[in-house]
Amino acid sequence: MPTMNDIVDVEITLQSSAVARQGFNSLMLAGKTTSFKQDEPNPWTVGEVRKYEKFADITSDKSILAGGAIYNMAKVAFAQSPAVTQVYVGYLAEDTLSVDDVTNLRASNDNWFGYCSEWNDVSDITLQETELAGVKYGFYLLEDDVSAASPSGYDSFSSYTSLWHTKSTDTARKWVNVGIASRILCLQPGSYTAAFKSLNDVDTSKYSALEEGYLRPDRVDANTPATCAINQYSFVGGRGITWTGVTANVENEGFIDDYIGILYTEARITEDVYSMIASADKITYTKGGVQTLTTAVQARLQQGVSDGFLSGTPAPVVVAPDVVNVAPSLKAGRQLPDIEFYAVTAGSVHTVNIKGSVKI
């Protein structure tokens, strides 16, 4: 049985010149044995996933240990305003994590987009990232080491991963990664930046200039950015704010909102074009038929402009293949080669330089 992606293959490449639907309003919280009570009437099994729509649902599930990591993470997720409407809890593994544990969790339920875990040492972060990055999930993990070597272990991470640092030792209030994931994933992609967000029930952390340099190393040279970065949640100007909202891999100077916007656009184009093909009695292999498909792509890109993700200047451009020049073998197999488009992200203002003079 073909999947939707077998029928409509969409691949979007981000070029950094500052450049039933899949649910983005959802968050997976992956836990270990110590987060669950196995002596309750409804005990958990490894790989099991359950869905919750409010924190009261968590508290009423007596098989989730009150005060445990999953309980505290869920409390932070639902405390945000606004917050995701769907929180999934998964029993990832017992005491030792393996790549099969992440695979089994996805096999049990993959209706979620955001991912946070209580497995947060360097090796476990790397293992989870390796598995999830390939399937393009939004990955938010917590790091609590602040040393010169902090980011170096994550140099190979994908652009879909976001690392967040905390100095908090409060087991209930350290989950900045959960807070930011819940706070932004409930919003329309393109309408937000992951920087400057105030979070509920999360401790801020104070850093020296040296420590911030460890978290976000300087550019290697004028043309080469640092290969990895870790975000923070700190008290600035009378309020807690997230900073800087970048992905772990900043080789292309990627920001979290840009990559979520790309994944969202990719998913929506796939769904829109698939729906058109599946709903029609036939899409003819003619100029008119191809134009029908390109119109759907153009409409989705224009929606990206309206959402604030894509820039309207220059406007997105869609290029359709000329059916006269398509290889006969592709026509015989009823395969339409690349419909291509070009678009530029709208970006966001994070810092401002102001100069002026006052004459007396």
* pLDDT tens profile 193-223: 999 999 999 999 998 888 887 787 665 555 6
SS3 319: strand
Is 122 in the same domain as 76?
A: yes
Pairing status of strand 86-93 against strand 114-117: unpaired
Does 3 map to a domain? no
Is 127 in the same domain as 173?
A: yes
Q: What is the pLDDT of residue 162?
A: 85
Confidence category of residue 14, pLDDT binned at 50, 70, 90: very low
pTM greater than 0.85: yes
Q: Which of 345, 277, 266, 276 is nearest to 305 (CA)?
A: 345
Query: What's the total number of domains in the chain?
Result: 2
Does 352 map to a domain? no
- 37 versus 130: the higher-pLDDT residue is 37
Q: Which residues pair with residue 243 across a beta bridge?
A: 232
Tens digit of each residue's pLDDT (9 = 90 or more) over 48-85: 999 999 999 999 999 999 999 999 999 999 999 999 99
Is 71 in the same domain as 215?
A: yes
Does 319 map to a domain? yes
Is 107 in the same domain as 243?
A: yes
Confidence category of residue 12, pLDDT binned at 50, 70, 90: low
Is 234 in the same domain as 280?
A: no
Is 166 in the same domain as 199?
A: yes
Is 221 in the same domain as 310?
A: no
Is 218 in the same domain as 312?
A: no
Q: Which residues of 215-231 are buried (b: 16+ CB within 10 A; e: fewer)?
A: bbbeeeeeeebebbbbb
Does 354 map to a domain? no
Range of 300's domain?
Answer: 276-342
Is 184 in the same domain as 282?
A: no
- Cα–Cα dist 66/78, whole Å: 15
CA angle 92, 97, 99 (to 5 degrees): 85
Is 244 in the same domain as 315?
A: no
Does 320 map to a domain? yes
Does 200 map to a domain? yes
Q: What is the pLDDT of residue 241?
A: 97
Is 324 in the same domain as 196?
A: no
